[in-house]
Amino acid sequence: MKLFTVGPVACYPIVLKAMGEQMYSHRSAEYKKLHYDTVERLQKWLETQNPIYLFSSTGTGFMEAAVRNCVKDSMLACVNGDFGKRFAEVGKSNGRKVEVLEPIIGEPITPQGLDDALRKHPQVEAVAITHNETSAGLINPLPELCAVSKKHGKLIFVDAVSSMGGTEILVDKWGIDICFSSSQKCFGVPPGLGIGSVSKRCLEIAEKLPNRGYYFDLILWQKDHEKGQGTPVTSVIPQVAGLSAVLKMVEEKGGKKWYFDLYKRRNTKIRRAVKKLGTPVYPKRGYESPTVNCIKAPKGVPGPQIYEAMRKKGYELAQGYGALKDVTYRIGNMGYIPNQSLNSMLETLKQVYDEI
Ligand SMILES: Cc1ncc(COP(=O)(O)O)c(C=O)c1O
């Protein structure tokens, strides 16, 4: 099966090879070297001085960490799809009051909309933004949204699960307090590893906040990070080794710009091809995701039918998600996708459209 999923995505062969090595202790000198080398490469990639923690959980662990460690009473969640909704749920389920900014689906969060929401709810301590809303194939204007949040003096939490690695994110320049992702997306590594940077401001708040829990206690993570210990719990060593292999590969090929351009080329090729077939992408023009195309299903054809037909021919795309399940289907362009597979997938999709 050739994968054009939205995560977990196909892994690079070098990742699978690195992950197949024999285990060693996460307290060994070998692991510590791998850990801090990987952290440094990620800091360089995200252009940040903030510490980066490698959680033995998926990215959602950082939503929990952000809420438990940094929000005392209330936060604002920007929701334009199911993952924004999840961040709001994490806030509510931890007993915080969550205000919601929710444009109609397919529309971005606008700087003006955010400014209005923060004027209406000046008490919120933090703003949660989904950079790339995977469910709708939409990318929000992150630098502008960060500037508005900063103007209001709010903490900024960014869910970059399907954007980190696939498009530029400048953590320090944009002033992001917590920026997190998962291994199974743009870096093309199996699931199980959460990657997140945390600002000094967050740590100062966390220090004074009771009931942070244990597993995602940022103070505990920072202590072990500073001590040279890496992680307070057992690390997912194979995933870290896989991530290290990808970061090295990208550096050898020309750096992150090379990787972003590769994603852009794949993504544009898919978008143009589906448009030619008469089915444009779902989100508002100018806000199309660079890592996943969410495509309107042909008139009268449920999205899952396209997904099933492609599966029978050896291509795993992704079904629509949440509210868009029936009216869309999705094609991801993250991870290991040889050019030849991309071309044959698009030819097969044309056949499927001819047959339905
Ligand atoms: C934008 C976004 N946020 C959060 C998640 C949840 O990530 P995880 O399952 O790795 O915790 C996903 C997963 O698809 C996602 O795409």
Tell me the pLDDT band of 59, cut-offs 50, 70 and 90.
Answer: very high
pLDDT of residue 186 exceeding 90: yes
Domains of the chain as residue ranges with CATH: 13-251 (3.40.640.10), 254-355 (3.90.1150.10)
Separation between Cα atoms, residue 245 and residue 6, nearest integer Å: 21
What the block records as the tokens of 253 is: 């090929």
Give the model's pLDDT for residue 21.
95
Give dist(CA 38, CA 23) in Å, integer.
17
Q: How far is the CA of 282 from the centre of ligand 1 (A)?
A: 19
Distance 354 CA to ligand 1 centre (A): 33
Measured CA to CA, the distance from residue 78 to residue 16 in angstroms comes to 36
CB of residue 138 inside a 6 A radius of ligand 1: no
**pLDDT tens digits, residue range 230-262?**
999 999 999 999 999 999 999 999 999 999 999
Of the pLDDT bands very low, low, confident and very high (cuts 50, 70, 90), residue 323 is: confident
Tokens (6 digits) for 334? 């993250």
CA of 149 to the centre of ligand 1 (A): 23
pLDDT(28) > 90 = yes
Examine the pLDDT at 71 and tell me if it is beyond 90. Answer: yes
Ligand 1 geometric centre to CA of 207 (Å): 27
Q: Is 127 in the pocket of ligand 1 (CB under 6 A)?
A: no
- Ligand 1: atom nearest CA of 134 is 16
Report, as an integer, the average pLDDT of 152-159.
98
- For the Cβ of 161 lying below 6 angstroms from any atom of ligand 1, the answer is yes
What confidence category does residue 76 fall into, taking pLDDT thresholds of 50, 70 and 90?
Answer: very high
What is the percent of the chain with per-residue pLDDT over 90, rounded to a whole number?
Answer: 99
Express each pLDDT in 270-315 by its tens digit: 999 999 999 999 999 999 999 999 999 999 999 999 999 999 999 9
Confidence of residue 170 (pLDDT cuts 50, 70, 90): very high
Closest CA to 194 of 285, 341, 61: 61
> Band of the pLDDT at 322, cuts 50, 70, 90?
confident
Atom of ligand 1 nearest to the CA of 131: 1
Distance of CA 320 to the CA centre of its chain: 17
Is residue 190 very low, low, confident or very high in pLDDT (cuts 50, 70, 90)?
very high
pLDDT for residue 183 is more than 90: yes
Closest ligand 1 atom to residue 6 Cα is 14
Q: Are 55 and 196 in contact (CB under 8 A)?
A: yes
227: confidence class by pLDDT, cuts 50, 70, 90: very high
Asked if residue 8 has its Cβ within 6 Å of ligand 1, the reply is no
Of all atoms in ligand 1, which is nearest to the CA of residue 135?
Answer: 16
59 Cβ below 6 A of ligand 1: yes
130 pocket-lining for ligand 1 (C-beta < 6 Å): yes
Q: Is the pLDDT of residue 140 over 90?
A: yes
Q: Is the CB of 140 under 6 A from ligand 1?
A: no
Give the residues across from 128 on adjacent strands. Answer: 77, 157
Percentage, residues of the chain above pLDDT 70? 100
Taking CA atoms only, the protein residue closest to ligand 1 atom 15 is: 161
